Structure 1
């Protein structure tokens, strides 16, 4: 849900201190292996063509982590890249790092939650207080990202990073669909929600309940299985209380209205876009394909599970 912010934080922190129990740092492929993966990469992730005003753009549902061989586009995504001229993402990482560094530190968590957060950071082999300067939900999500390394996932292999690298290579413009302030305003729980949302997330980490839902999400994403992704709140064990449901709705569904409006404005200005937004934004009553269809777009599935 917080792909660009999470990627920025995780890359800044690095792999932590190497110990046998640490989440393993990702192994980078050699040149021959990378070439082989690139040559036979299948299509992964949901992809739509959206058409209006006499031209077409593409909408791609991305995942904020991936496996080493996932960092290469399949035929449909390569075609979408060739037919577009601007990459649109939730946030351009080039804008995020300096803005985060300039932000004042967040309000400290209540002491019991702070101790539990520090214990989870130690389990991830992160230096003491390494996360304290970041907003609380970035702290939680970074811990979950490091835990996902135990299953071979890493932000460095996500499709977002691959597309941004392509944009830099080709000199392609990158458009942000949100500002840092807008995304943080959505991500941070209210004062009433915070202890409940943080407590639930820490319990998942402490009980080892993070990895199975992420594996299920990643598998569904790779197959472009929108039915399973749409059911995420039912099986993730992370949207169980009223406060968690309110936070999830604000982070996912409510942001889609503004994301859709921004996509429509950029496309309406004549830009042929490849839009890469988190795959969960493609599901539910406020799904981006649905909102764009309401704006008059013709929305055609290019890669979706049957």
Structure 2
């Protein structure tokens, strides 16, 4: 199984824990760069130069407009300031929906509970995990209670720091900050248990293979390559490049890989589409979901169109119609 998929799909779940690890990073050389709180001048520059990134759709049904936003679970500080089209869509929404609301302490506690677990690791694999902790400049004991697959995933999320990409600047946290400032509620599209059931390996054999793959790709620099290309495509709003992920990632090597990708990327979409539709029926919603859930005939835009929505891509600079709230 391609381990970078585990990293991205569980990035939402481990993001809060990764931020804590970053704060506890030990001094070592060389260490990956840490997220630095912006200065006042940096924050002002980001606000004055904010531009739209990612992928935004307007979805309309029954005389009401909502919005669908494709996100990435790591980012740079300047990405944490929404551009004009995203700001307008947020202003016209009554609530914000994300995969999981990691600003809710109860949700974070549930995430930590469902991601615990043990596995009998061969000693060579255990040593390789320990080397990744050293390379990431974190104390492996901080992760000791987590399932070893989640430990490997966390090192993959931390690897993005070498590209200047940090979970602290993920779009989900930007959206939560906006919600707090404006008094709009944040709701989750999934539960921690639903994500864990879909994402964690279902057998010890599969788990060992996932850890082995993740470590191999970390050691070969492949995680960084894929993360960099995904982040670049997201920043450009390049849906075509994201849709071609399976062709360029060099990670689908068997039918088992293809089946796993479907379970992780496609099979969750109907449930999220149903939840978004139900929220829309209650009032305008801004729904933010990982960008790879947007691609193809079984992506969220297509599924919402099949539910009777008029779905229209909103490009940078395009007006966002509807009454502001």
Contact 1:44–1:223 (CA under 8 A) maintained in structure 2: yes
Aligned position for 2:225: 212
Q: Secondary structure at the match of 2:37?
A: coil
Aligned position for 1:45: 54
The one of 113, 130, 139 equivalent to 2:151 is 139
The one of 100, 103, 106 equivalent to 2:111 is 100
Q: Does 1:265 align with 2:273?
A: no
| 1:173 Cα deviation from its structure 2 partner | 0.7
Unpaired runs of at least 5, structure 1: none
Residues 68-79 of structure 1: pairs in structure 2 closer than 5 A: 68-79=77-88
Aligned position for 1:36: 45
Aligned position for 2:209: 196
Unpaired runs of at least 5, structure 2: 1-8, 317-325
CA distance in structure 1 between the aligned counterparts of 2:297 and 2:146, rounded to whole angstroms: 32
The one of 132, 137, 144 equivalent to 1:120 is 132
CA distance in structure 1 between the aligned counterparts of 2:148 and 2:235, rounded to whole angstroms: 29
Distance change (3 Å), C-alpha of 1:236 and 1:18:
farther
Q: Secondary structure at the match of 1:210?
A: helix
Residues 1-306 of structure 1: pairs in structure 2 closer than 5 A: 1-15=9-23, 16-93=25-102, 94=104, 95-103=106-114, 105-111=116-122, 112-191=124-203, 192-268=205-281, 270-303=282-315
Residue deviations 1:50-76 (CA, integer Å, cap 9, x gap):
011220100000000111211111110
Which stretch of the first structure deviates more once superposed, 92-101 or 121-130? 92-101
Residue deviations 1:200-257 (CA, integer Å, cap 9, x gap):
1110001122111111111100111011101112222333333333222111111001
Normalising by structure 1, we get a TM-score of 0.94
Distance change (3 Å), C-alpha of 1:142 and 1:128:
closer
Q: Secondary structure at the match of 1:32?
A: helix
Q: Secondary structure at the match of 1:48?
A: strand
Q: Secondary structure at the match of 1:88?
A: strand
Contact 2:149–2:207 (CA under 8 A) maintained in structure 1: no
CA distance in structure 2 between the aligned counterparts of 1:79 and 1:49, rounded to whole angstroms: 11
CA distance in structure 2 between the aligned counterparts of 1:31 and 1:265, rounded to whole angstroms: 41
Task: Name the count of aligned residue pairs.
Answer: 304
Distance change (3 Å), C-alpha of 1:226 and 1:5:
same
| 1:103 Cα deviation from its structure 2 partner | 4.9
What is the aligned-residue RMSD (CA, Å)? Answer: 1.8
Residue deviations 1:265-302 (CA, integer Å, cap 9, x gap):
1112x221000000000013310000000000000110
CA distance in structure 2 between the aligned counterparts of 1:276 and 1:135, rounded to whole angstroms: 27
CA distance in structure 1 between the aligned counterparts of 2:114 and 2:197, rounded to whole angstroms: 13
